[in-house]
Amino acid sequence: MDTLAFPRTHYLNAEYGLKSWLLTTDHKRIGLLFLGAISLFFILGGIFAGLIRLELLTPPGDLVSDDTYNKLFTMHGIVMVFMFLIPSIPAVMGNFFVPIMIGARDLAFPRLNLLSWYIFMTGGLFTLYAIVTGGVDTGWTFYTPFSTLSSHSNVMTAAIGIFIIGFSSILTGLNFIVTIHTMRAPGMTWFRMPLFLWAMYATSLINVLATPVLAITIFAVALERALHMGIFDPAYGGDPVLFQHLFWFYSHPAVYIMILPAMGVVSEVIAAFSRKSIFGYKFVAFSSLAIAVFGFLVWGHHMFVAGMSVYGAMIFSVLSFLVAVPSAVKVFNWTATLYKGSISYQTPMLYALGFIGLFTIGGLTGLFLASLGVDVHVTDTYFVVAHFHYIMVGGAIMGYLGGLHYWWPKMTGRMYPDMWGRVAAVVTFLGFNLTFFPQFVLGYMGMPRRYHAYPPEFQALNVLSTAGASIMGIGYLIPAIYLLWSLKYGAIAGNNPWGAKGLEWEIPSPPPTFNFDKTPVVTEPAYAYETREK
């Protein structure tokens, strides 16, 4: 039985004062800095989403003007994608747990890690400035020639913000790759690593390989907007479809930057709460790398109706189907892990199970969109909106919340009320489905995305969607309350409240500044639950 005493000194009380946080090189504190920042951005992005849903409650555009509506969905997308989802699990839980899970005292480059937070905040502030001084109306995709020629909103300020934020992703990715390669504890072989680390590694590869292309693309937009260099604008001899190629070369893999870490979390949680090792560990590990690599080959499916060659579209369509294979490997293997497991339905497990169901729906509808004929019918409709929210909200955010609930006791040393956790997970799941399932139907019926007014026959489904959004909002509010409450009033967690395997559960909660008194030696595979309980 683990002791339930709160450790006398740990990373949270080792030093006090603002300076000790702003100049920290402790990966755990930097993880918390990111947690604070992205939580604020999540609230901001959520407010934009709320306003969008309120506007769509009624058919006419009666709450905001069409211009304002364009800015609302643009800023919702920019904030949620670049300032919340992409950094979410890697920058918070990756920073906190990658070193601990491999048995190291910190990341390979601690100061670079702090720099990545400052870069993120600088980019975030640029984007916030663009928002408060009038906003952006191009959509989060910044498509040319509108973004370079026609838009009179704060395109460049927002683009510079995203350009800067990208360097934060690159530095975090670089740090994780070097750390995982060089700082694993004795006995922590590649195939003894928890699957969360494989997911972090695969995500980092995408971060390092794809993000520079986004930076170059934004730079090219700036050159064209400022100096009228002909790159994307036909008026100057450029090609707008080239922008889409370059943008999606980053932004489709960015979907996997968002979802792969959540898949890593789900592997940890499924194993811990079914008391079994992950079925087909190596397949799940390699499927992360396969998703990272295949993810680079499929971007053209965003452009089937953009004027690209039909033959090019056929190639991208076939390649897009490939990604389903490693994704399905994961879903089948998690399901097989549950078989004959000793399953308990605590909060993190409910989020993980929710992830599997919602991700599967999001993934399968992605195959509809990879099919050339169907895509022509539903491009730029609410079907697409529903599809990617099933991946990014139903998948990535459910994974994020699952991970946060799983590791919260380790990060803070305190338990949250599990009953409220389970209530929140169920409310979020129900609210999410009520919000986004009607959007599949709306889209298939022909309701286009990015319009602030719509014909009356679409109202019933839109009312359902808005009602679901408010339920989902409550589902997010409940954890915000009880997690903050737990910091002061939560029961003491002890080293290993879940009885889970992994190096992070062998050290005190909260961990000491340098994680381990002496370097651990790993002698068994990850998830050796069966071994322990025999």
Partner 1 sequence: MEHVIVPRSTYYTIFAVLVVMTGVTTGVAFFDLGLANPVIALSIAVFKASLVVLFFMHLKYRSRLTWVVAGAAVFWLGILLVLILSDYTTRGWAWF
Q: Which residues bind partner 1 (CB under 8 A)?
A: 209, 213, 241-242, 245-246, 249, 296-297, 299-300, 308-313, 315-316
Nearest distance, CB of residue 247 and partner 1, angstroms: 12
Q: Which is nearer to partner 1, 1 or 310 (CB)?
A: 310
Nearest distance, CB of residue 310 and partner 1, angstroms: 6
Nearest distance, CB of residue 377 and partner 1, angstroms: 19
Coil, strand or helix: which one is 80?
helix
Q: Which is nearer to partner 1, 296 or 516 (CB)?
A: 296
Query: Longest C-alpha distance within the chain, in Å?
Result: 72
| Angle made by CA atoms 159, 219, 303, in degrees to the nearest 5 | 75
Nearest distance, CB of residue 168 and partner 1, angstroms: 20
Q: Which is nearer to partner 1, 9 or 182 (CB)?
A: 182
Nearest distance, CB of residue 246 and partner 1, angstroms: 8
Nearest distance, CB of residue 406 and partner 1, angstroms: 33
Nearest distance, CB of residue 204 and partner 1, angstroms: 13
Structure tokens at 233: 């604008």
Cβ of 326: how many Cβ atoms within 10 Å? 21
Cβ of 288: how many Cβ atoms within 10 Å? 28
Q: Which is nearer to partner 1, 301 or 414 (CB)?
A: 301
In eight-state DSSP terms, residue 149 is I
> 44: Cβ–Cβ under 8 A, 6 or more apart, which residues?
79
Cβ of 94: how many Cβ atoms within 10 Å? 31
Backbone angles phi, psi at 139, to 5 degrees: 80, 155
Nearest distance, CB of residue 174 and partner 1, angstroms: 10
Nearest distance, CB of residue 490 and partner 1, angstroms: 44
Q: Which is nearer to partner 1, 212 or 341 (CB)?
A: 212
Q: Which is nearer to partner 1, 245 or 330 (CB)?
A: 245
Q: Which is nearer to partner 1, 89 or 246 (CB)?
A: 246
DSSP string for residues in 281-329: HHHHHHHHHHHHHHGGG-GGGG-TTTT--HHHHHHHHHHHHHHHHHHHH
For residue 142, give the nearest of 134, 133, 154 by alpha carbon. Answer: 154
What is the rounded (10 degree) CA torsion for 496, 497, 499, 503? Answer: -30
Coil, strand or helix: which one is 126?
helix
Q: Which is nearer to partner 1, 253 or 431 (CB)?
A: 253
In eight-state DSSP terms, residue 4 is -
Q: Is 182 exposed, middle or buried (0-12, 13-18, 19+ CB in 10 A)?
A: exposed
Nearest distance, CB of residue 311 and partner 1, angstroms: 4
Distance separating alpha carbons of residues 486 and 3, to the nearest angstrom: 19
Question: Which residue stretches of 450-507 are H helix?
Answer: 459-489
Distance separating alpha carbons of residues 471 and 365, to the nearest angstrom: 24
Amino acid letter, residue 6: F
Q: How many CA atoms lie within 13 A of 211 on its CB side?
A: 24
Distance separating alpha carbons of residues 18 and 157, to the nearest angstrom: 29
Q: Which is nearer to partner 1, 316 or 334 (CB)?
A: 316
Nearest distance, CB of residue 216 and partner 1, angstroms: 10
Q: What is the CA radius of gyration of the chain?
A: 23
